[in-house]
């Protein structure tokens, strides 16, 4: 595939560039390839169309022409010498470059400022391979200027910290601090896209700690800042709320809804803290859920994802409150109430518990394991749904579609939860139960 692209442009300058080169040097497989050339976008388009390829020019204003080869997306971008984002303008001002040096020096970090030519030789003008081997994030030119040109690079630095665990050079650290407020110039969708990637990194705890230390959180989710000022030292907690939150995010599986819920689950604690003989945060989960809904609306997360995150935040304490004295009916009720969210709710609970006071972690994990065991024993909870369909109810009672059918199905689910009915019965048992309900109404 790579050879095919080089052959198409055998009479022109062409280099494999950017993250593709970085990931290849790190040993990661990459399918989508990025190239840079001295040709202008119209010229790139002409070469590809002459060879019979269908091109996509959605990025043409920024110098990028894309096309597909063997099911893989290829992007070819004209050398860029300058690419500056100006205040209140989402479109960068671009100046085309003439050489590969022009293009590489304007890239964000040296680990992304390498290229590979058609002979397979790595073009490394700014010690990118050395920085890659040492795990250091450095910029090919002045870091202040790099971040000022496009403030999204501030979050990209944190993203690479989260993904690879790389450290910042001293110049990058200083630029992160001095340029942080430039994040205000970015549209929300660019911030959200980058922050989502930060949350999904394997070193997310380090990344979040940096965002707090360098005041980047102030411009992304400022509601989190106050958590560091709230201590909660008790038999359950040995960290302040912010350090506990970082721990929960680190412990959460790499799933976007879970990582967001872990990040926001204790937002309400600063506003609900009370103290008698010990610290309490009564109803903090509800306050956290309301705040979470507002934040996700502001950042414009997809509706379904937002609803899932809010649900997880609002209910994150339910499994933690499990007691071995719970009856089977109480366990059924928990399963039925949480429905499709049960698996993630249990995972969030585990993540929360493992960031508690170390002396209490195993005790609470044992309780969670007991709850999980009881759920499995009662029934395969993934199949725990109304055992009779709406059509059967309508046919039997000569009903038309409407709220009454839904209400009758809920009656069955209530009866399953409290043990009045059991799963696996003949359909007639459920219909007879509903007949009694209808008769009483």
Q: Are 15 and 117 in contact (CB under 8 A)?
A: yes
User: Cα–Cα distance between 232 and 278 in angstroms, integer?
Assistant: 9
Q: Find the DSSP H helices in 214-341.
A: 241-251, 256-264, 269-272, 284-299, 303-314, 328-338
pTM: 0.84
User: Cα–Cα distance between 289 and 283 in angstroms, integer?
Assistant: 10
Fold assignment, 141-220: Hydrophobic Seed Protein (1.10.110)
Res 32 pLDDT > 90: no
User: Cα–Cα distance between 265 and 284 in angstroms, integer?
Assistant: 9
User: Cα–Cα distance between 18 and 77 in angstroms, integer?
Assistant: 11
User: Cα–Cα distance between 262 and 305 in angstroms, integer?
Assistant: 14
Lowest mean pLDDT among 281-295, 306-320, 422-436: 422-436
Would you place residue 85 in the very low, low, confident or very high pLDDT band (cuts 50, 70, 90)? low
Residue range 196-211: average pLDDT? Answer: 98
User: Cα–Cα distance between 143 and 153 in angstroms, integer?
Assistant: 10
Res 39 pLDDT > 70: yes
Domain definitions of the chain by residue range = 2-134, 141-220, 225-383, 390-440
Q: What's residue 265's pLDDT? A: 96
141-220 has the same fold as 2-134:
no
The CATH architecture to which 2-134 belongs is: 2-Layer Sandwich (3.30)
Residue range 295-316: average pLDDT? Answer: 96
Mean pLDDT is highest, among 171-185, 222-236, 424-438, for 171-185
Lowest mean pLDDT among 17-31, 129-143, 161-175: 17-31
- Bridge partners, residue 36, by sequence: 15, 77
Alpha carbon distances (Å) from 94 to 34, 97, 152, 186 = 18, 9, 16, 17
The SS3 call for residue 286 is helix
User: What is the overall mean pLDDT for the chain?
Assistant: 89
Q: Are 20 and 34 in contact (CB under 8 A)?
A: yes
Q: Are 219 and 180 in contact (CB under 8 A)?
A: yes
């Amino acid at each position: 595939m790579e050879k095919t692209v080089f052959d198409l442009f055998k009479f022109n300058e062409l280099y494999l560039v950017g993250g593709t080169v970085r990931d290849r040097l790190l040993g990661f497989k990459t399918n989508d390839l990025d190239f840079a050339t001295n040709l202008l976008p119209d010229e790139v388009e002409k070469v590809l169309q002459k060879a019979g390829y269908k091109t996509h020019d959605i990025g043409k204003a920024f110098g990028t022409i894309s096309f597909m080869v063997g099911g893989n997306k290829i992007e070819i971008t004209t050398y860029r010498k300058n690419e500056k984002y100006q205040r209140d303008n989402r479109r960068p001002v671009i100046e085309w470059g003439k050489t590969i040096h022009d293009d590489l020096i304007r890239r964000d970090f040296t680990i992304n400022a390498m290229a590979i030519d058609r002979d397979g030789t790595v073009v490394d003008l700014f010690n990118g391979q050395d920085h890659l081997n040492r795990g250091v994030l450095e910029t090919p030119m002045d870091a202040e200027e790099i971040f000022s040109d496009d403030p999204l690079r501030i979050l990209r630095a944190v993203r690479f910290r989260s993904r690879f665990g790389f450290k910042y050079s001293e110049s990058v650290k200083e630029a992160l601090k001095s340029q942080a407020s430039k994040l205000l110039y970015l549209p929300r969708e660019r911030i959200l896209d980058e922050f989502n990637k930060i949350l999904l990194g394997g070193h997310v705890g380090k990344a979040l700690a940096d965002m707090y230390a360098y005041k980047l959180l102030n411009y992304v989710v400022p509601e989190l800042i106050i958590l560091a000022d709230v201590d909660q030292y008790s038999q359950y907690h040995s960290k302040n709320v912010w350090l506990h939150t970082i721990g929960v995010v680190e412990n959460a599986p790499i799933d976007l809804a879970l990582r967001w819920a872990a990040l926001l689950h204790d937002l309400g604690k600063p506003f609900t803290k009370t103290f008698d003989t010990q610290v309490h945060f009564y109803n903090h989960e509800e306050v956290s859920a309301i705040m979470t809904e507002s934040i996700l609306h502001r950042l414009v997360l997809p509706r379904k994802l937002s609803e899932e995150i809010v649900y997880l935040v609002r209910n994150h304490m339910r499994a933690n409150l499990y007691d071995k004295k719970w009856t089977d009916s109480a366990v059924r009720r928990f399963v039925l109430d949480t429905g499709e969210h049960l698996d993630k709710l249990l995972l969030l609970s585990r993540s929360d518990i493992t960031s508690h006071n170390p002396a209490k972690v195993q005790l609470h994990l044992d309780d969670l394991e007991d709850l999980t065991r009881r759920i499995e024993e009662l029934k395969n909870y993934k199949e725990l749904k109304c055992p009779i369909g709406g059509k059967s109810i309508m046919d039997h009672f000569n009903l038309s579609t409407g709220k009454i059918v839904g209400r009758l199905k809920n009656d069955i689910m209530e009866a399953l939860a409290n043990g009045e009915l059991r799963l696996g019965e003949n359909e007639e048992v459920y219909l007879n139960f509903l007949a009694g309900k209808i008769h009483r109404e």
